[in-house]
Chains A and B, each alone.
Chain A
Amino acid sequence: MLLDEIKKMGAFDVNACCSCGVCTAICPLSENGDEFPRKMLRYAMVGLEKELLGSPQLWECYYCGECTKSCPRQADPGGFMMAARKYAITRYSVGKIGKAFYNKTLAPLIYSFLSVFSLIGILLISRDPNGTAIFTIPEIYIHLAGLVLGTFVIVIVIANLAIMYRYISGTRKFTKNIEAWVNSLIRVIIKEVIVQERYSKCSDRLRRYAHLSLVLGFILLMIATTIDYITATRPISGIVLGFAGGIMIIFGSGFFIYQRLKHREPYSIHGDFIDWAFIILIFLAGCTGFSLDFLTGLSAVVMMYIHLTVVFDLIVTAPFTKFAHAIYRTFALWLKEVQIK
């Protein structure tokens, strides 16, 4: 049963749902025609899997927790939406590889393996040019590895998006106007990724800023890395952008770790290994990357090893874990923009 599968991912209280619709009424983001969360819960309860996976609404939710707080049956609709997204991540992923990451036994093993694999790789390509026993990694290798890794991730993500598209196109039709597609993409990237306008409808301001800070931090770091790569030096612009991006992701991820530890808001109550792994890896990536600017000598080298391993873990698992929501949400909102009503 579909519901049983989703319940493995959270949504423990969903059976109490009586389909009253208070969650949809209270949700600041739900729109006419594409309502949620009630409709999503209903699909899951009656076993309409194609309808559920074909609903872009899954990705519209920022899990502010208003619905869970106002549910008259304590069915935790917000928790259900989260669980349904996790389920969708496993189902959208090529060969359903994502399933392994949401397995409580397998996931730690995968992360351990990847980390060891990364460390061995780094050690193999490390050199000691000065004979000072301080091994450094030639930049050329790092960039090469980055390109290979990036290509791998992009290919997988595209394949995943194709699966997601198949599901969503099963529930709605899209315009054939190419211009509309392009314009919509630009609009979505500006409004939903860079500004995150919709998030402002949710009541928790601080949480929105933390999330925005994380996303923008990533974007800044990406730009900084690209500048470094293109100029092959470290121009001041790259350093400043990297510095700012680092602070932003440390703040963002730090905020979410703090919230989870405090267990106060509905969205932070549930959370298993994979959720923790994602947020801790971001935090670590931020901290280690940031500290590189201040360390010298052996400690800098060791920190570099750790940083690269963390970044490798984070990026290689991105298409199968929570990280993928960045792409899925953008894609879903884009498809919503170009759908014919």
Chain B
Amino acid sequence: MQKNDKKIGVYVCHCGGNISDVVDVKKVSEEASKMKNVAVARDYMFMCSEAGQKMIEDDVKSLKLDAVVVAACSPKLHELTFRNVIKRAGGNPYMYYHANIREQVSWVHEHEKEKATEKAIREVRAAVAYVANSEPLEKITVRAEKSVLIVGGGIAGMRAAIDIADMGMNAFLVEKQPFLGGMTAKFDQEIFPYGKGSLKLVNDLIEELKKRHIIVVFTNAELEELSGYIGNFLAKIRIKPRFFKESCKDSNLESICPKKVIDPETKEVRSAIMMPPFEGAYPEVPAIDTNICDFCGQCAKACSAIDLSQKEEILEIKIGAVIVATGFETYTPKQGEFGYGTEGVITLSTLTKILSKKGYLALDGKKAKSVAMIYCVGSRQEKGNQYCSRYCCSAALEAAISLQKAGTRVFHIYRDIRSYGKNEILYEKASIGGSLFLKYNPDSPPTVIKNGGKLTVKVKDLLTEGKEVDLDVDAVVLVTGMVPRENEKLNSIIKVSVGKDGFYQEVHPKLKPVETMISGIFICGTAQGPKMAVESICSASAAAAKAASLILKGYTELEPFVATVDPNLCSLSGDCIKECPYNAIYVYEYEGIGKKAKVNEAVCKGCGACVAVCPNGAIQLMGLRNIQIENMIVNAGGFND
């Protein structure tokens, strides 16, 4: 072993009894003071308190400590605190190890105090071995492009774009459909509890977008390729032609188009001409649906604004961060699921569309006198979607209130009503308005029977002692939830991990709720999981703020725990390049050495996969070099030298 004359300070925290009630902290500190290289060892009631921090700061200055070990709580809580203490004292913040003797010792070994103390000593010994072999590290600085790409032009995407623009950055908003608005624009429904129609919300966001000239909107466009890393992404956008140079004066274009299809959802006939779907839609220019159009040219004859020779374009843009806001899809029940496919059995999304147009429900010309709503269809299933779709209870109650206003009796056949927060008022309103709630056990779900034109729902109602109740109704509404959008292509481009449920996954639901494992790529809205409109908007603003915090300075700082190649040892086997899950390693021409592997520090996540596969031991992980880990293991085992 090399000669090592580092001076180390060890600080053992009582955590106000959390640790000291179990671990003999005095003994730990005493043992630590005997360890090699340890210049000072102390214990204190609360090391994180101002006095505790001051104590370490003073020691670092007066004793000229090279490294510090604090044995306390989880590093998640205070690692950063003590790194900053060292920094303030003029030391290198990476000459530090945070030994966790609370979560890993005192809390879990409450009844074995002596052994707990011994374990704490071993942890401290390992930590001392770590810092004894540490070397000062610096944060990695990467230049950052002050612009953000937002994928998805729904309410979340639009909100994020507006917020990005307001922080002075360029926003590129890419929407797959020919018009902005996403799912929210498909329903003309009131968004509770703010008394705002969903279309009004979409229109307001569009108006805000238009006011900001640093927002560039691409509709009919898709992300085709994404390369680079945080601060320096290069995105390729494929823009499909609209075939319209401007709007046509002839409003009869839709009837001129000979191609007619029936929309599977609304059952309405439409042509290949896609007119702006609502007033105030953006862009105001129509588009041609190339899935239907066969380029017969009849429309172009009728209107000179139509140019069928328009070609697809691919645009390259430089961006510093990406926000993914691709939204959700509504669950479509399987044939026969609660009678789905039978006449009179519809989904909640169909009901809301009908209600937004007519204000009442009439399926065969007659206004429905009674409607049964079956909740949790496609959500909270033992096999299948296990999650709660969050919005459906409130949306169903909202629809029930509209139905009741139109004189329709509503039976709610539910498992649990989760009209959380302010939405509880909806439950109250529907209930007082005459809604009848029948609770079913998921083990014996309700059945829907159609007998001679008559719909009957059979339900074992837990609120009536589980007796079977027959409800004769005119329509059955299946309260369907949200499912993740199938987007294989985008997933392979952005490489954001997808959860078991199929939604994009954040790093941590509370600590990093809009961040992904890929630095510089953020998620928001319902692409991440079921959300209400309000929550989607909030997460969009959060994602925008997080993106800004990384790139707004024009550069971004990254932790130095990355792999580094010793070109003198590298034989360019190529194993590391294949193994790296982040494509962070590439071949580089070293001066005087030749072509060897090199790590792009901005892309590297410090996972260590390359270290494990390198046949020559040419790669080391900074801050976690083999020598550090080996010494930690040896010392934790108690075999120091």
A: residues with CB less than 8 A from B are: 15-16, 18-19, 39, 42-43, 45-48, 51, 73
Contact = CB atoms under 8 A, between A and B. Distances in A.
A18 B434 CA distance: 9
8 contacts: A16-B432, A42-B461, A45-B436, A46-B464, A46-B469, A46-B471, A47-B469, A73-B432
Contact of A47 (B434, B465, B470): B470
B462 to A, nearest CB: 10
Contacts of B104: none
Nearest to A16: B432
A18 B471 contact: no
B432 A48 contact: no
Nearest to B459: A46
Q: How large, as a class, is the contact surface on chain B?
A: 10 to 19
A128 B431 CA distance: 69
Contacts of B432: 16, 18, 73
Contacts of B464: 39, 42-43, 46, 48
A19 B463 contact: yes
Nearest to A47: B469
A333 B431 CA distance: 34
A47 B431 contact: no
Nearest to B463: A19
Contact of A48 (B433, B436, B437, B467): B467
A45 B461 CA distance: 12
B461 A46 contact: yes
A19 B463 CA distance: 8
A170 to B, nearest CB: 13
Contacts of A19: 437, 463
B467 A51 contact: yes
Q: Which has the most chain B C-beta neighbours within 10 Å: A45, A51, A73? A: A45
Instruction: Please classify the interface of chain A as helix (H, G, I), strand (E, B), loop, or mixed, using the class held by over half of its residues.
Output: helix
Interface of B: 431-434, 436-438, 461, 463-465, 467, 469-471
A46 B434 contact: no
B467 A18 contact: no
A57 to B, nearest CB: 13
A47 B471 CA distance: 8
Contact of B431 (A18, A42, A43, A46): A18
A73 B434 CA distance: 11
Given A48-B469, A73-B432, 13 more contacts: A15-B433, A15-B434, A16-B431, A42-B461, A42-B463, A43-B464, A45-B436, A46-B469, A47-B471, A48-B464, A48-B467, A51-B467, A73-B431
A261 B433 CA distance: 31
Please give me the 5 A-B residue pairs with the lowest Cβ-Cβ distance, nearest first: A15-B434, A46-B469, A42-B464, A18-B431, A19-B463
Nearest to A43: B464
A253 B577 CA distance: 100
B466 to A, nearest CB: 12
A172 B461 CA distance: 20
Contacts of A51: 467
B389 to A, nearest CB: 24
Nearest to A4: B409
Given A18-B431, A51-B467, A46 B438 contact: yes
Contacts of A46: 436, 438, 461, 464, 469, 471
A205 to B, nearest CB: 35
Contacts of B437: 18-19
A45 B436 CA distance: 7
A16 B436 CA distance: 9
A53 to B, nearest CB: 14
Contacts of B436: 45-46
Contacts of B438: 46
Nearest to A45: B436
Nearest to A51: B467
A14 to B, nearest CB: 9
Contacts of B467: 48, 51
Contacts of B461: 42, 46
B591 to A, nearest CB: 80
Nearest to B467: A48
Contacts of A48: 464, 467, 469
Contacts of B463: 19, 42
A19 B432 CA distance: 11
Contacts of B465: 39
A47 B434 CA distance: 15
B446 to A, nearest CB: 12
A45 B470 CA distance: 12
Contacts of B433: 15
Nearest to B469: A46
A329 B469 CA distance: 28
B318 to A, nearest CB: 59
A19 B461 CA distance: 12
Contacts of A43: 464
A30 to B, nearest CB: 15
A60 B424 CA distance: 36
A16 B470 CA distance: 21
A48 B464 CA distance: 9
Contacts of A42: 461, 463-464
Chain B CB within 10 Å — which of A16, A18, A46 has the most?
A46
Most buried by B among A39, A43, A48: A48
B338 to A, nearest CB: 19
Contacts of B470: 47
